Amino acid sequence: MTTTDFTATIMVPQAPQDVTNAITNIRGWWSEGIEGDTTKLNSDFIYHYKDVHYCKCRLIELVAGKRVVWLVLDNYFKFTKDKTEWIGTKLVFDITQKNTGTEVRFTHEGLVPQYECYEVCREAWTMYITESLFALITTGKGKPNAKEDNNFNAQLVENWRLEEKAEALNAGMKDYQKTIALHKPAHEVYAAITGHIAGWWGNDLAGMSARAGDSFDIAFGKTKKTFEIIEAVSDEKVVWKCTKAHINMASLTNKNEWEGTIIIWMLKPEGSNTTLHFLHKGLNKGLECYDVCESGWNTFLASLEAYIETGKGRPYLKL
């Protein structure tokens, strides 16, 4: 089965700078209802279509006349079972000047045929890129979704997710989560999560960073995992996506079960104290490793609490 990312290519007579301007004018070719800044580096925008699709993207690369890249920070599809699809993927536009004009190659990095949404997304992207964006560049008028009459707000997304959560609970498929009350300010909790993993989780680390878009590796003997940092908001929120995993358990049929799961840390400051809510999206009783992983998180989150409160945790130590 192929794992090729979705791509679409168009050729236009306009100059590369004009193409860049059209691409970043997302309201002109994707949706008139886009909310947020789509033209400044590190700015975020939100797309939504009724109660079917919501996504939040950040502009992480902008080289005029050459390349535009958005990182998908958050996403929700009403019609998929896997609610992590699109999260952590990238929308990449490579712009190349040719003798006959300008080539625009769009790649949705991470959108692969294995996704439940793939066929729907393939058809949608093909239309948006080859018809709507093409028209915007060449005629000045694209074919975006019309702005909806209803006012969109984040509470709608939260309501959708609460509904999904209720369904999951009814099905006995609750994702692992834990809330911890800590007697330390949010900035110390955030620092422990993002900068001091060796003090509470494990010291076999490579590439640890607190910056969105970076990645790091962690190993526990022959069990190894790679995480991409999807979102990092100081003292508020941290989101990691597991992009590669090998769980060294002989009993597992699928030793890559963590791949695609999302780890979310939510911090709520309360004066000099902090409430930490931890959620491992995708880690539920439907996974073979659940019992072992649940026990592992219980142990390491207790270690994190000890590290934050006393300065000394109980991490895995590579000798």
77-121 tens-digit pLDDT = 888 888 788 988 999 999 999 998 999 999 999 898 888 899 999
Q: How far apart are CA 65 and CA 68, in angstroms?
A: 9
Mean pLDDT of the region 192-217: 90
What DSSP string runs through 69-92? EEEEEEEEETT-S-TTTTTT-EEE
pLDDT in tens, 278-305: 999 989 888 889 989 999 999 999 999 9
Residue of 104 and 157 predicted with greater confidence: 104
Q: To 10 degrees, what angle do helices 186-195 and 290-310 make?
A: 130
Q: How far apart are CA 130 and CA 151, in angstroms?
A: 29
**Does the global pTM surpass 0.85?**
no
Give the pLDDT band (50/70/90) at residue 167: low
- What pLDDT, on a 0 to 100 scale, did the predictor assign at position 280? 94
Q: How much of the chain exceeds pLDDT 70, in percent? A: 91
3-state SS, residue 202: strand
pLDDT in tens, 117-137: 999 999 999 999 999 999 999
Residue of 173 and 131 predicted with greater confidence: 131
pLDDT at 141 over 90: yes
Q: pLDDT averaged over the chain? A: 89
Mean pLDDT of the region 30-57: 90
pLDDT at 75 over 50: yes
Residue 274 pairs with which residues in a beta bridge? Answer: 182, 269
Mean pLDDT of the region 242-252: 89
- What pLDDT, on a 0 to 100 scale, did the predictor assign at position 2? 43
E strand spans, 110-246: 176-182, 205-206, 215-220, 223-233, 237-246
pLDDT in tens, 22-37: 999 999 999 998 989 9
